[in-house]
Structure 1
């Protein structure tokens, strides 16, 4: 029986070699790697994986004896279920905002506040605070078209703008509740949610500052232009950038397709995080009905569908386009989004097969008796699991499962909130082809795989490393015990 770590290394070699060396399409490389990993994984390991997830032994046995094709398709479908509608609707919103001039109007409004010189700072802060209540991929989908429009307007620094959007979003996703990962840590370590919010905000602002300077350096080192893509042709963006203000939609209409989903998702996230389910929100039946409507639209899929409808309405209103042209427009946007969905789902299938190989359990066994200080140990375990199987959430769950008991039994010289921050930092290392989020960031920004590995991966990893160093310093100076 092969060691899960060896299986992981074989899968990594197939993905990286297939894409970079043999120039295979990412979907083919990822699915091929998923097949090989599944072939090398014993049935007993798959069964144990489903039992560990809380399934009954009979159900786990049934899952383990499914064909490899069925298991890969299942993980592929699970990933599609999570991100399929989001990506498709975000593709429509992004293209509609670019073509209608809404993105250009928002850019002009932002420049009045930040000035051209500080535009990347506006992007990194916006993506950071928006990702606290909103799904990280949603923020990237909605903000990347703005980065493209700004890059064309400035005629420089596109990589800096794209990396700023990514830097802010990924750090908030690991540190600040009510993002899903931090909520898991709150439960596992019994840390007050308000305390993790404050500490996560402070650490997040520090790490995105580091990320900003890294992005500035990478922007000078790599001359990556803003490229043509089917959903965002440069000549179309340029033509819009040269328009007079009177030819663009008003700022309120321009913001509507993005702000409506963000606002409703924020409200729903806040209610789910702080309100006890099953009890009325207010004493007024009328207000409760209003809240029910808002919460309905706050579902991330419903919110993005509604945002896409608003985006198309703004486009039709601004360009006075015909129904046939609108149908053709949606078709083009969905073709672009469909490619991202396929790559992301294939990445999810590969990551799912790695998880079924027992890689997380194997790493837990290797590190359980490691006599290292708990904060760097938490970071190290999370980093290894994250790099091995791609999912930051799985890495958070694995590390919290290993360390929660140790933290409770050990005579800690610092508050457990620092362990949460160390785990959140470790979840940033190292993004590559087995991570669905990597493909989303890569494809929405129009970077090649090699460019993403040279820019997004090191920036994100260095921000995570800065996070754990700052966490250790804070635990030493302010132990809070």
Structure 2
């Protein structure tokens, strides 16, 4: 049976070599790597992987005996189930908001508040606080069209704007419940949700400040322009930027496609996270709450956002049904490419997980004599980099450290372990991470540009996070 670390290295060579060396399309490179990794993984390793996930012995054996093609297709489909509708509807929302002038209207309103000089700060703070209750990819989908519109209006600093959106979103996703990762951590390490929210927000604001400074540096170092894309042609964005205010949609209508999903998802997240009772309400209030909960499902919410976006576009452009259908087709073609690449990344990551790489790393570090906070960070960072999934990295690290976190002689509050694990989940985003492809493709950066900008910025923010966590645990242990 091959060592999972060796299989990982083979997968890395195929993906990186295929995309950068042989100029393969990312979809083909990722699928090829998934195929080779799946072929190199023994049935015993696959069976052990599913047993560790809590499956019965019979079911785990059944999964291990599935063909290579079926296993890859299953992981491909699992990723599509998570992000397929979101990306397709977000593509419609993004193109509709750009073409209708809704994005331009929002940009003009934001500039009145922040001023031109502080526009990137407005972006990074907005994406941070929006991601606390909302799925991180949703925020990136909804805010990247605004970054494109702002980049066209300013005529410069597009990379800074795009990195600001990404920096704010990814750090909130690691630190602040009810984001799924932090919500899992507080349950595993028995940390109060309120304390995690306060500490995570404070650390998040510190790390996005670091991220903003890094983004400023990268923006000066790399001259990456706003590029043409099928769903965001530069001449169309420029034409809208030159329109008078009265030619744009009203601000309320401009905001509706983005605000409706965000608000309804926020409400549902709050009800579920804080277990807010709503069973004993009046029939009217109960019905209203049921509608809110239904609309708060992320897939339903973003579908309705897409409907509102098309409605605004139709009203603004006074277009025919045929033109609206052609417009939607263009948006979906753009979204479909992102779905395929992202799902292939998910399949590659899924095949790596089945090798047992997470358990292998856990075994390698179990006797590592090191302070717990940097150990938590290191384990999470290595697992995340190895197999791509931040969630798997969080689960692996918390599983190793949960027993130690309950130790009465720990010396500091377990919340600091949660923050260290969250920091480690930021290192190092590359081609085996579905989120990497979403950030890369929505921002129109090439793979090489994303590896030179997004990856180091995220990694340095994670390093800053663990250093600040260690300082805080020393100064304010809270025990």
Structure 1 length-normalised TM: 0.99
User: Match of 1:369, SS?
Assistant: coil
Q: Do the aligned residues in 1 keep the contact of 2:404 with 2:410 (CA within 8 Å)?
A: no
Structure-2 separation of matches of 1:251 and 1:152: 19
For 1:409, what is the secondary structure of its paired residue? coil
Do the aligned partners of residues 121 and 282 (structure 1) sit closer, same or farther apart at CA in structure 2, a change above 3 Å counting? farther
SS of structure 2 residue aligned to 1:378: helix
Partners of 1:177 and 1:457 in 2: CA distance? 24
Contact kept in structure 2, 1:99 and 1:237, CA below 8 Å: yes
Superimposed CA distance per residue, residues 441-465 of structure 1 (whole angstroms, 9 cap, x where no aligned partner): 0000000000000000000000000
Deviation of 1:281 (Å): 4.4
Deviation at 1:410, TM superposition (A): 6.2
2:192 aligned residue = 192
Equivalent positions of 1:126-205 (< 5 A) are 126-205=126-205
Which position in structure 2 is the counterpart of 1:318? 316
Counterpart in the other structure of 1:397: 395
Partner of 1:119: 119
Match of 2:47 in 1: 47
Q: 1:265 maps to what in 2? A: 265
Shift of 1:275: 1.1
1:426 and 2:424 equivalent?
A: yes
User: Quick check: 1:275–1:281 contact (8 Å CA) kept in 2?
Assistant: no
SS of 2:406's equivalent? helix
Instruction: Quote the Cα distance in structure 1 between the aligned partners of 2:212 and 2:262.
Output: 24
Structure 1 runs (4+) greater than 4 angstroms displaced: none
Equivalent residues in 2 for 1:246-395, closer than 5 Å = 246-275=246-275, 280-395=278-393
Deviations 1:115-137 (A, max 9, x none): 00000000000000000000000
CA offset digits 1:209-252 (Å, max 9, x no partner): 00000000000000000000000000000000000000000000
Q: Gaps spanning 5+ residues in structure 1: where?
A: none
User: What corresponds to 1:439 in structure 2?
Assistant: 437
Query: In the TM superposition, what is the alpha-carbon distance from 1:288 to its structure 2 partner?
Result: 1.1
| C-alpha displacement of 1:283 | 2.9
Query: Corresponding residue for 1:219?
Result: 219
Cα deviation digits, residues 243-273 of structure 1 (max 9, x gap): 0000000000000000000000000000010
What pairs with 1:458-473 in structure 2 (closer than 5 Å)? 458-473=456-471
Q: Deviations along 1:279-331, whole A, 9 cap, x unmatched?
A: 53443221111010011000000000000000000000001000000000000
Aligned CA RMSD, in angstroms, stands at 0.7
Is this contact kept in 1: 2:278–2:289, CA < 8 A? no
On the 8 A contact 2:96/2:313 being kept in 1, the answer is: yes
Shift of 1:433: 0.1
| Count of residues paired in the alignment | 479
State the match for 1:412 in structure 2.
Answer: 410
Q: Deviations over 1:384-428 (max 9, x none)?
A: 000000000110011000100122236211000000000000000
Map residues 233-248 of structure 1 onto 2, 5 A cutoff.
233-248=233-248
Report the Cα distance in structure 1 between the residues aligned to 2:449 and 2:414, rounded to whole angstroms. 38
Q: Are the aligned partners of 1:105 and 1:249 in contact in 2 as well (CA < 8 Å)?
A: yes
Equivalent position SS for 1:202: helix
| Cα pair distance change 1:247/1:386, threshold 3 Å | same
SS of residue in 1 equivalent to 2:393: helix
1:336-371 residue CA offsets vs partner (Å, 9 max, x unmatched): 000000000000000000000000000000000111
